[in-house]
Structure 1
Amino acid sequence: MSAITIRLERGKVLAIGLMSGTSHDGVSAVVVEIDERSRPPARVIAFHTFPYPASFRKELLAASVDEKIGAAAISTLNFALGRALAHAAIEIAKRARVAMSDIAFIGSHGHTFFHLPPRRAARGQIASTMQLGESAVVAAATGVAVVSDFRTMDLALGGEGAPLAPLAHVWLFADPKRGRVVQNIGGIGNATYIPPGARVGDPNLIAFDTGPGNGMIDALASRISGGRLRMDRDGRIAARGHVNELLLDKLMRNPYFARRPPKSTGREEFGPHLLDRIVADARRMKVVDYDLAATVTALTARSIADACRRFILARGRVDQMIVTGGGARNPTLMRMLAAELPNIEVITAAEVGVDGDALEAVSFAILGYQMLRGRQGNIPNVTGASAPAILGKLTVPPAPLA
């Protein structure tokens, strides 16, 4: 078998970024052109989210909350997700009209199945993380080298293993004059503060999970519609209600919001168990469904604004909050966020020329690029790791037989 080489010429590099988010909707895939001589240095060629079949999504969701799931089920999910990731990579290359042989590498985050960082681990627990989506399946199906498993080294160095997108945020959003917060609102919300003129090593650069994003909003929409809806599309349900301030004040007393960064969270903290308690409280308080939807949406907006006031504004000025992810398409949530932060311009990534939906997938292409260049992927003052580190593991495809 011949030696495997990864083409990273000094000019343009074509890569694929893959990820499956906390909303469990499907695989987000992007073909991105990376050229460090350009501004911005990463350009989206094609992006699409390939939905999971309803039965598989249901299985994945059930497994994520079943504490008794066995090794056989986890192993099967790992390979099934590998197939889904490979399919997405092949299909996005077709949409981009790019031959797979022209793709230098694939950066695959896979799907975060379990994440317990050091600061959330109880006494006697070992901090750990598990991303599913077998990279060997992806490499074998595509014939392209895969960089995957980005969280583990940061966790091994005492970090949270998250958030990982801030390095890409600096690449794409740093501005010589404006202080910016890049606020992703996916299943979970996470913020990156980029001071004016920031570089990766800037001591005032900070990033952390702010708390709930769309996950509980989507789950509540499904619950109050009897399963007919998978999301509150365009925030229509919440727009018909009024925020119950008593319930919202109670929800804002969640200890996570006061915890200082570095910090990260997930469905374990802001998922089905919390939603059950919220719905039970709402029933006792006689809060109707529309008002409950408005209140849960307001929880996302207020927790983001609260995080900005508590942990970011002390580090420097904020001129703009750039919203990415599904939350940027929810006008009700965007209005609430703007009302919570009247002195900050709240805009979408599209308004500064970046595809916000593709951003997370682009981030993992950039992290894969950094790994193959032998450069750091984590930012220690973001994750809490004890040192900068190269993130990711390389899986090479089978070489053609001689």
Structure 2
Amino acid sequence: MDRDLRPFVPVHEGGSRVAAGCMTGTSIDALDVVWIEATGFGLDLRAKVVDYRRRDLGPLREPLRSLCRQEPATAPAIARLARDLGALHADVIAPEDRSGAPPHPDLIVVHGQTVAHDGEASWALFDPRPLIARVDSTVVTDLRLVDQACDGEGAPITPLADWIFLRGPEPRCVVNLGGFCNVTFLPAEDEPHSHVEGRDVGPCNQLLDEAARRFLGEPFDVDGAAAAGGQVHGDVAASLVRGLIAIGGRGRSLGTGDEGFHLLDALEVLPPGDALATLSTAVALSIARGLVGRGRVLLFGGGARNLALVDNLRGAVPDQPVQIGDDGASGLTPESREGAAMAVLGLLAADGVAVTLPAVTGRGETLHLDGRWILPR
């Protein structure tokens, strides 16, 4: 018997629903919350971004990074960190000062901060209590749960949302330049969603940001300026590409232990600008090798603001259009895509649609609705 949770996600006059999607990615820098307005149901759903808020993780950043590095922490300290992350979500979605507040969401979809993921075990840290104390909306978390219960890896999780938002008349590649790079290959819009492909490619901002911290003493290379001003050392870049390809070729989704930080040791002998330039080139080449001949390239994630990385990608696929964000009706920017994807996936889950794709995650048949749901009275 087909079931869904539509009664818990109100439909407004005109047939629209508003959902807020929340994402803290593997770069561990900020919380992105994206409000979408959607019409239609299930795979006929259409959505557009109506609001976007970004909040720096502030004092939560370093404890979260420490946890992601698998450094020791007590159970109470982890519990408090999860609670504080929940409170940050509440502050963005339901601020106490309602002047200029975002739209009231019918559904709140929370990814949580991934602190462990190796293809077999996965943990996205989040305590919903501070949030549900402040909102009357339906809340869903842990959309990977059912996939992983059915022998899938739960990742990449966004390809079906990419298909909802970004499919077009010709095939295209949706490239997320986040902490790890992942790619969704979308078929032409007249093909079924079962033809969508997706995979993790390798470390991206995980390495670029760590290199900025190590060689520049900065949290990241703003706009890729240091890389743009440096010289590329071809032999070192070639070695880095081989290392990055090896990480991406592990035959599973990427996460804990796949950051590739050891690759930065080869850059220690170079001037800082040269180190960043060489690494940027290597990261771009390792990504581009899987994009050749796959159509228009749409770049999202924080790395899409790294001009050196983007220029290197364009140079590596000279025969394909490469654009930053979506110039269509979705309203997706590099920063808003993942949050918007979570919002769409939450609505699909409420409609009874399995939100992951077997060809992407390796899951078997799903027997339950996706997610952990907190329903209003």
TM-score by length of 1: 0.84
Shift of 1:345: 0.9
Q: Which residue of 2 aligns with 1:83?
A: 87
Find 2:177's aligned residue among 185, 190, 193: 185
CA contact (8 A) 1:17 1:31 kept: yes
Q: Which residue of 1 aligns with 2:220?
A: 231
Shift of 1:296: 1.5
CA contact (8 A) 2:39 2:46 kept: yes
Find 1:360's aligned residue among 335, 338, 341: 338
Q: Counterpart of 2:114 in 1: which secondary structure?
A: strand
Structure 2 residue 354 is the aligned partner of structure 1 residue 376:
yes
Q: CA RMSD in A?
A: 2.5
Q: Work out the CA distance in 2 between the residues paired with 1:58 and 1:245.
A: 34
Q: Which residue of 1 aligns with 2:4?
A: none
Please, which runs of 5 or more residues in structure 2 have no aligned partner?
A: 1-6
Shift of 1:51: 0.6
Change in Cα spacing, 1:196 to 1:243, as seen in structure 2 (3 Å) is same
What is the number of residues matched between the two proteins? 364
Q: Work out the CA distance in 2 between the residues paired with 1:206 and 1:392.
A: 22
Q: Work out the CA distance in 2 between the residues paired with 1:164 and 1:73.
A: 29
Q: Work out the CA distance in 2 between the residues paired with 1:162 and 1:59.
A: 24
Q: Counterpart of 1:110 in 2: which secondary structure?
A: strand
Aligned residue identity for 2:47:
A
Q: Which residue of 2 aligns with 1:348?
A: 324
Structure 2 residue 374 is the aligned partner of structure 1 residue 395:
yes
Aligned residue identity for 1:289:
P
CA contact (8 A) 1:192 1:206 kept: yes
Change in Cα spacing, 1:280 to 1:327, as seen in structure 2 (3 Å) is closer
Find 1:326's aligned residue among 283, 296, 302: 302
Q: Work out the CA distance in 2 between the residues paired with 1:267 and 1:243.
A: 29
Q: Encode CA deviations 1:161-190: one digit per residue, 9 max, x unaligned.
A: 1111111110111113x1100001111111
Q: Work out the CA distance in 1 between the residues paired with 2:265 and 2:138.
A: 49
**Identical counterparts, % of pairs:** 27
Q: Which residue of 1 aligns with 2:126?
A: 133
Please, which runs of 5 or more residues in structure 1 have no aligned partner?
A: 118-126
Q: Counterpart of 1:87 in 2: which secondary structure?
A: helix
Q: Work out the CA distance in 2 between the residues paired with 1:92 and 1:241.
A: 46
Shift of 1:92: 11
Q: Work out the CA distance in 2 between the residues paired with 1:338 and 1:308.
A: 11
Q: Work out the CA distance in 1 between the residues paired with 2:118 and 2:159.
A: 20
CA contact (8 A) 2:38 2:47 kept: yes
Change in Cα spacing, 1:182 to 1:12, as seen in structure 2 (3 Å) is same
Shift of 1:352: 3.5
Q: Work out the CA distance in 1 between the residues paired with 2:199 and 2:97.
A: 32
Change in Cα spacing, 1:352 to 1:96, as seen in structure 2 (3 Å) is farther
Q: Work out the CA distance in 1 between the residues paired with 2:201 and 2:318.
A: 19
Aligned residue identity for 1:27:
L
Change in Cα spacing, 1:76 to 1:282, as seen in structure 2 (3 Å) is same
Aligned counterparts, 1:178-257, within 5 A? 178-197=170-189, 201-203=193-195, 205-226=196-217, 229-254=218-243, 255-257=246-248
Structure 2 residue 106 is the aligned partner of structure 1 residue 104:
yes
Q: Work out the CA distance in 1 between the residues paired with 2:31 and 2:319.
A: 36
Shift of 1:341: 0.8
Shift of 1:244: 1.8
Shift of 1:253: 2.3
Instruction: Specify which structure has the bigger relative contact order, considering alpha-carbon pairs within 8 angstroms and separated by 6 or more residues.
Output: 2
Find 1:303's aligned residue among 286, 302, 323: 286
Q: Work out the CA distance in 1 between the residues paired with 2:130 and 2:212.
A: 35
Q: Counterpart of 2:242 in 1: which secondary structure?
A: coil
Structure 2 residue 275 is the aligned partner of structure 1 residue 292:
yes
Q: Which residue of 1 aligns with 2:264?
A: 279
Q: Work out the CA distance in 1 between the residues paired with 2:131 and 2:9.
A: 16
Shift of 1:96: 6.6
Aligned counterparts, 1:151-190, within 5 A? 151-176=144-169, 178-190=170-182
CA contact (8 A) 1:376 1:390 kept: yes
Shift of 1:201: 3.5
CA contact (8 A) 1:45 1:96 kept: no
